[in-house]
Structure 1
Amino acid sequence: MSDLQDAPAIWGTMRARQGRDTANANGFARMLEACLDLGVHWIDHADIYDDGEVEILHGEAAQALAPGARAQLRLITKCGVRFAAPRQPGVRLHHYRSDAAYLTRQAETSLQRLGVERIDLYLLHRPDYLMQAEETAKAMEALVESGKVARFGVSNFSTFQVDALTARTDLKLAANQVELSPFHTAPLDNGQLDQARATDMAFLAWSPLAGRRLPAGEDETARRLRHTLEAMGTRFDGDPGPDSLVLAWLRTLGAIPILGTGRIDRLQRQVREMRALTLDAQDWYEILEAARGARVP
């Protein structure tokens, strides 16, 4: 998965149908074209985003792209989360599934919605406490052998949960997608980042800007971090925005940020500014200490 490890960022589609530029198929197609122009080839989905409507929107939008452009897209999607919704009949509460029948059915559903023959990276969306690891592993292997899935990974899995799954299969997990930002740094210390490095898994960071907390949060941590980032930006050419500095902070770790914006201009600015930035060790720790409100030991 070297092309994923080298990706500058991933575009995340969770709120695409509410995005200024991405709410319809034409706008979504323009966003995909903008992603490709930026070298952002990986697009992150999940079968539950807007109850499947986002995958359907992607499938419609992709038809507007030239065949060569469609071939450059690399698709991530996730399964395993269930909740009460029109496309989940009989579900009365949030829960998780990882049994073979469910994984297979959801993969086939996502393939149909997205309009592709293969999912490039298929993630188990959340740890299922009832997971029968051997059954789940065999279902993963069967989907890879059938050509419906290229690689498997996980999302929000602890190191122990990764180990429990990998012990049952010869498949190498390609990625772990976790929450990571200056506001949420637990993966730096709980072993998730270390495990990804040791096993050469891609480390994908969701909510890299903590939603609206970085630009608009009024709590003490948000204000302190924003002040530090604004001052730091003046030391770099082009005075990059606080968001771009945080994305560069993540890339310095080797994490790949998932950018959930629905605005083409914002995505372009963030990726271009981030790629132009090189943080040294002191810059990196300055951001960490501002977020934590204390120096490292």
Structure 2
Amino acid sequence: MKYFPIKGTNLNVSNIVMGNMRLTQLSLSEVEHLIRTSMDEGINFFDHADIYGGGKCEELFADAIQMNSSIREKMILQSKCGINTKDNMYDFSKEHILKSVDGILKRLKTDYLDILLLHRPDPLMEPEEIAEAFDELHNSGKVHYFGVSNFNPMQIELLQKYISHKLVVNQLQLSVTHTPMIDSGVAINMHHDQSINRDSSILEYCRLHDITVQAWSPFQNGFFQGPFLGDLEKFPKLNELIDQLAEKYEVTNTAIATAWITRHPANIQVVLGTTKAQRIQDACAGSDIPLTRKEWYDIYKAAGNIIP
């Protein structure tokens, strides 16, 4: 397992993250097995959100491992807030953020979060109000560090102007078959769909500002259009190449799909959303596979992208 420090923090993190969005699909014993497998593989970073399972996922997580101080010390816990599912809207008000964190801590049975992320940008956000919430959470010891999820550079700049705490994480969608944050930089200034800058060069921005990128849905095609691994109808060349590389490195196709992301010099964390222990083990095998430059580009091209 590869580890690296998140800049601006004292956290040394695994580049593979256990995501906990689907825990309600499992029994308590299955959740425990999933968490134990993750820890045995070297994962020390666990990602949550207050909306996952309506909060039930956080409860299951804590109950499954019988959360206590000795276990808590071995974990880096991150959760997200800011989505109001009841009214189908986003809410970055101070009241909502503070209330959300109290609920998260209660469900996770812990006194603090290592990192709190704002889940999706709220067009009505008032940065001064968010700053007050962050100060209160940090001063009380409830949250050590802060970040965002699905934010573009200007949204981060606007927020960072007012808050005193450096934003250290941005969680974004990235997989071999969902690469907008890479595409426009490769095919810049061309009359081609790949040249469209859909996210204001967020990857380069995060690297310039020492913000760790976390890749969610690392095995999904687009916005929940299904996994690309094994999809021979849509991605025959990609799967053929990934299978060849899996044989070369003596791992599974999941490991190669993971390695394509971890090979990037930005030190991207890969957030797994699986409910299968074997898939976690397979992905962890891709934590530090030394894909060559040619192999990385060959995978990118096999996914349907051009190299001008």
In the superposition, the TM-score normalised over structure 2's length comes to 0.85
SS in 1 for 2:263: helix
Alignment of structure 1 residues 1-297 onto 2, 5 Å: 1-2=5-6, 6-18=13-25, 23-63=26-66, 67-84=69-86, 91=87, 94-188=88-182, 189=185, 190-210=200-220, 212-220=226-234, 222-236=235-249, 238=250, 240-253=251-264, 254-271=267-284, 273-275=285-287, 277-294=289-306, 296-297=307-308
Taking the aligned partners of 2:230 and 2:40, their CA distance within structure 1 comes to 29
Which string of whole-angstrom CA distances, capped at 9 and with x for unpartnered residues, describes residues 179-229 of structure 1?
A: 011111112244211122112111100000116422243553x22311221
Preserved contact between residue 62 and residue 70 of structure 1 (Cα < 8 Å): no
SS in 1 for 2:275: coil
The residue aligned with 1:88 is: none
- Residue 214 of structure 2 aligns with an amino acid whose one-letter code is L
**Structure 2 runs not aligned, ≥5 long:** 186-199
Aligned length: 279
Which string of whole-angstrom CA distances, capped at 9 and with x for unpartnered residues, describes residues 13-56 of structure 1?
A: 111221xxxx1222222222222211101111110011111011
The alignment yields a C-alpha RMSD, in angstroms, of 1.8
Taking the aligned partners of 1:250 and 1:146, their CA distance within structure 2 comes to 36
Preserved contact between residue 79 and residue 115 of structure 2 (Cα < 8 Å): yes
Preserved contact between residue 4 and residue 202 of structure 1 (Cα < 8 Å): no
**Structure 1 runs not aligned, ≥5 long:** 85-90
- How big is the shift at 1:233? 2.5
Taking the aligned partners of 2:96 and 2:246, their CA distance within structure 1 comes to 47
- How big is the shift at 1:70? 3.2
Q: Which has the higher helix share?
A: 1
Taking the aligned partners of 1:156 and 1:73, their CA distance within structure 2 comes to 24
Taking the aligned partners of 2:69 and 2:145, their CA distance within structure 1 comes to 23
- Residue 47 of structure 2 aligns with an amino acid whose one-letter code is D
- Residue 286 of structure 1 aligns with an amino acid whose one-letter code is D
- Residue 80 of structure 1 aligns with an amino acid whose one-letter code is G
- How big is the shift at 1:134? 1.4
Preserved contact between residue 8 and residue 39 of structure 1 (Cα < 8 Å): no
Preserved contact between residue 229 and residue 245 of structure 1 (Cα < 8 Å): yes
Preserved contact between residue 205 and residue 257 of structure 1 (Cα < 8 Å): yes
SS in 2 for 1:275: coil
Which string of whole-angstrom CA distances, capped at 9 and with x for unpartnered residues, describes residues 227-259 of structure 1?
A: 2211232332x1x22221111111111211101
Taking the aligned partners of 2:168 and 2:150, their CA distance within structure 1 comes to 14
Gap change, CA 1:66 and 1:115, over 3 Å in 2 = closer
In the superposition, the TM-score normalised over structure 1's length comes to 0.88
